Structure 1
Amino acid sequence: MTDATEIRHGRYCVFNLHIHLVFVTKYRRGVFTGEVLADLRGIFAAVCEDFSAELVEFDGEDDHVHLLVNYPPRVSVSALVNSLKGVSSRMIRKKNYPSIRKKLWGGALWSPSYFAGSCGGAPISIIRQYIEQQQTPD
């Protein structure tokens, strides 16, 4: 994993985009064990790699997970989230964990909603001040 302040380069851009994602299990059921969370870490890292993104940090509790993802500007956050949730749900259900099978029925592991918060960089007030202080030509 790279340093969170490392600037990445694309063909036509330079970027440092991070997003904090939180996914909650369906019905907020406590179904995750340490083993399931370890599997989720690997699944999320592989999906991020497919998007040329990087899973910087991952952890969770029995009913939700937190991800910190460094992603390129060409990636839509909603497309990334859709893939992360869809692939992880399929893979975890395929492994047939008893804790999940007992508490969740049907085909869904995740609640349809999620939290996404941009993070990193300077606070909004500092950026606003910087922009206001630009020397506009006459």
Structure 2
Amino acid sequence: MFTINKNGLSYGRGYVYSLQYHLVWCTKYRKKVLKDGIDVECKEMLESLAQEYKFQILAMEVRPDHIHLLVD
């Protein structure tokens, strides 16, 4: 399929690329609901989605009112 070297580039047959997205999800009205175990469950769900759909999570931060995600 493809390989990722230590320089952060993805190499395949006939192509080289580095594509990253910074995603931010905010709760409705910025209410602080992502706490008391819900934050851990969100992290686990996002990590399982990354494995299922074959993308890498480079950075993830779950705050009480929003989630930051950097994916490759």
Both proteins in one fold, TM over 0.5: yes
- TM-score of the superposed pair, with normalisation by structure 2: 0.74
- TM-score of the superposed pair, with normalisation by structure 1: 0.43
Question: For the aligned residues, what is the CA RMSD?
Answer: 2.4
Q: Spell out the pairing of 1:43-122 with structure 2 (5 A cutoff).
A: 43-70=45-72
Cα offsets for 1:12-47 (capped at 9, x unmatched)? 422111111100012221101152222111111221
- List gaps (5 residues or longer) in structure 2: none
- List gaps (5 residues or longer) in structure 1: 71-138
| 1:42 equivalent in alignment to 2:14 | no
> Is the alpha carbon distance of 1:63 and 1:26 closer, same or farther for their aligned partners in structure 2, counting shifts above 3 Å?
same
8 Å CA contact 1:4–1:56 kept in 2: the answer is no
Q: Which has the higher helix share?
A: 1
Question: 32, 35, 39: which one pairs with 1:33?
Answer: 35
Query: Amino acid of the residue matched to residue 48 of structure 1?
Result: A
> Is the alpha carbon distance of 1:14 and 1:27 closer, same or farther for their aligned partners in structure 2, counting shifts above 3 Å?
same
Specify the structure having the higher radius of gyration (Cα).
1
Aligned length: 69
> Is the alpha carbon distance of 1:56 and 1:28 closer, same or farther for their aligned partners in structure 2, counting shifts above 3 Å?
same
- 2 CA distance for matches of 1:66 and 1:16? 19
Q: Which has the higher strand share?
A: 2
| 1:6 equivalent in alignment to 2:8 | yes
